[in-house]
Amino acid sequence: MGTVTVNKEERRRYHEAGHVIVCRALGVAVESLNFKPAGPGDTSVKVPDTLDLGDNKPECILQIFMAGILADELLCDRRGSPLRAGSGFFGEDGAKCLQWLNESSAGDRQAQRRLLDEQIEEARRKLLANWPAVERVAAALQEHGTLTSEQIDALVSGAP
């Protein structure tokens, strides 16, 4: 059995869908999602006033940052497609995540790595548990390009 190549546009749709699904799994409302085939996706996230992330804020932010990269990886794994060179932690989201982690911590590299590893696994678990919703959001992005909060909620819940 040969490998299947997943095109860049499809990977980007899954990447943006990954961010959305982990946001929703964390209870974070997603205001909109706009996918531009010729450029990067644009995900606008709005945290409801009633949501208090409290002491879990760093963990939630890390999960959201890494969700796109993980969705891309999971898509390629499921399709038997190799990841492109430079993916994973070397992507833009990975760089932002590491920069944020460095700025927000006291510099304990072992503690940073442990926190990052734990949150990567938690985000991966959320994506796997909600993979059908990831696929629905990615497909809707292909069809519509832009999704509203209401459309995202319907896709995540599986409503027709």
Could you tell me the residue ranges of all domains in the chain?
Answer: 8-157
Tokens 């990067």 — which residue? Answer: 40
Best CA proximity match to 71, nearest among 83, 61, 60: 83
> Is residue 90 scored above 50 in pLDDT?
no
> Is residue 87 scored above 70 in pLDDT?
no
Cα of first residue to Cα of last residue in the chain, in angstroms, is 35
What pLDDT score was predicted for residue 118?
92
What is the arithmetic mean of pLDDT over 107-116? 79
CATH superfamily label, 8-157: Peptidase M41 (1.20.58.760)
The verdict on pTM exceeding 0.85 is no
